[in-house]
Amino acid sequence: MRIAMKAMCLLAMAGFALGFSQPLAADSLTVKTEQGKIHGKTINNGKVNAFVGLPYAAPPTGDLRWKAPQPPANWKGVREANQYGARCIPSGASPDMAFLDSGPSEDCLYLNVYAPADANAKSKLPIMVWIHGGGFMAGAGGEPRHNGDFLPLKGVLLVTFNYRLAVFGFLATSELAQEANGTAGNYGFMDMIAALKWVKANAGQFGGDPENVTIFGESAGSFAVSTLVASPMAKGLFQKAIGESGAAFGGSLAYDPLDVREKKDSEWAASLGVKSLAELRALPADKIHDESLKRGMFAFPPNIDGKVLVEPVPDTYAAGRQAHVPLLAGWNADEGVIRVKDPVTAAQWKETAAKLYEARAAEFLTLYPADTDAQATRSAIDYYGDSFIGFSTWKWLEAQAKTGESPVYRYHFELAAPSSKYFKGVYAFHADDIEYVFGTLDTRPESAWRPEDRKVSELFMSYWTNFAKTGDPNGPGLPPWPRYDKDGTLLHLNSTVTSGPDAVRPRYEFLLKGMPAFRF
């Protein structure tokens, strides 16, 4: 009897000790959402609470394939939120992409929330919602380079998510348009809007302020940010916007009118041997994916669908009908190296100028000169970077500065990263900024990072999170960042940070007169 009592006392004492030390951690990792309770995990040595693999919409499968996202199901008990949800089925992938999930699936509408470990429902932290890149055909919310180990330590709540891609995210046949009262496509954008609605409804429970949301993205994610700022469906779901390398103002991704897409996509659907939308929805996802690849790269882009977008994005900005929110945007110095794989000679570049611009070739060569082979190679990188990404992002900044009635900040990222397995040579290449923004340089272990890389990453994180907090990237200890909408001044992000007027504005004014479509 004494032994039993002693054992019970020891167990009680152990329980008291555990009860004293564990419930705080357990409570901070158990959060009630509108769908039910979830239990997360800690990362970065306990500094950040992570809740991953949360459904923000019903699986878009079966009859829900190519439909607007529907609300997720509720659950009873506590759902474990420690495994990333499957990523959406891609139609390609960049070699620099890696993933934390179990693989691609049509059931892929999941998001991830990262909060400082000491956050609670009263914290009212600014919320940063990341929209991944990948040409609207690849990528996922759960990539190591934009995980949440570090950015939340700057006093923000971070959300990342998946959205439908390629044929599953943007198919727009005439039968789909008939079904949806004259609109079709852009399901990937509707997913983004559904994720933002989930954030508005639930993020406060994690410590976020649903009335202080910043959307930010890179490449296609930046195109998406510029689109959501223009979309009537997204109004009121965010208060600030950050775009990194891309905008829906032409360039590498064109948004077709719905009637153009209806014709193309209906012909493609008919080529699969189906006679109705029901039969198309009944096809296995693998077959649809495999057949879609035969159409080539960027075969299923966004469109002007009449719902997410009621007019071309530039028209919305020109009329001042976009969301009047603060904007921070820019691009990288060597975006064009994605196209310029080998050195270009002066003779080759002059020949290219004549072919591309004919009677305007001489003027072109004053802006993208070719006096030497080295200069020609640099000009090629500059020109293809402009036509790929820079020019469209510049037009977005100009449009928001003119009609957006809010502060605008512009940057140019110029610190050339160490050579990696993706780019042999030292460049600030396309997507190079991601690891700097998220403080995740060490997820690219093959690069020999230098002190200046760590310094610039810290600057990125500070500027971005300051902007999320107040709409102004400036803060104590940071080099001053003037407003672009005031006098055209931009920030040069390099080992030494400077600011000044746009020295290459004549290039973009030249391109405004006409520019051939960019092709990879």
Residues classed as catalytic: 219, 335, 430
Closest CA to 194 of 245, 149, 159: 159
Closest CA to 140 of 124, 163, 117: 163
SS3 assignment, position 48: strand
Is the separation of the CB atoms in 123 and 173 below 8 Å?
A: no
Return phi, psi of residue 512, to 5°: -60, -25
SS3 assignment, position 126: strand
Q: For residues 185 and 149, what is the distance between their CA atoms, to the nearest angstrom?
A: 35
Q: What is the DSSP string of 184-214?
A: ---HHHHHHHHHHHHHHHHGGGGTEEEEEEE
Closest CA to 407 of 231, 232, 239, 216: 239
Q: For residues 57 and 324, what is the distance between their CA atoms, to the nearest angstrom?
A: 28
Identity of residue 265: D
Half-sphere exposure of 333 (CA within 13 A, CB side): 13
Scanning the structure block, which residue is given the tokens 């007027």? 501
Q: For residues 148 and 129, what is the distance between their CA atoms, to the nearest angstrom?
A: 11
Closest CA to 504 of 372, 381, 416, 377: 381
**Token duo for residue 482:** 């003037």
State the CB neighbour count (10 A cutoff) for residue 247. 31
What residues contact 74, with CB distance under 8 A and at least 6 apart? Answer: 34, 35, 36
**Token duo for residue 372:** 């030497």
Q: For residues 359 and 114, what is the distance between their CA atoms, to the nearest angstrom?
A: 54
DSSP state of 122: T
Q: For residues 266 and 251, what is the distance between their CA atoms, to the nearest angstrom?
A: 26
Closest CA to 82 of 127, 52, 108, 110: 52
Beta 125-131 vs 157-161: how paired, if at all? parallel
**Token duo for residue 477:** 């200890």
Torsion sign (Cα): 11, 12, 14, 15: positive
**Token duo for residue 30:** 């158990």
Q: What residues does 330 pair with on adjacent strands?
A: 244, 411
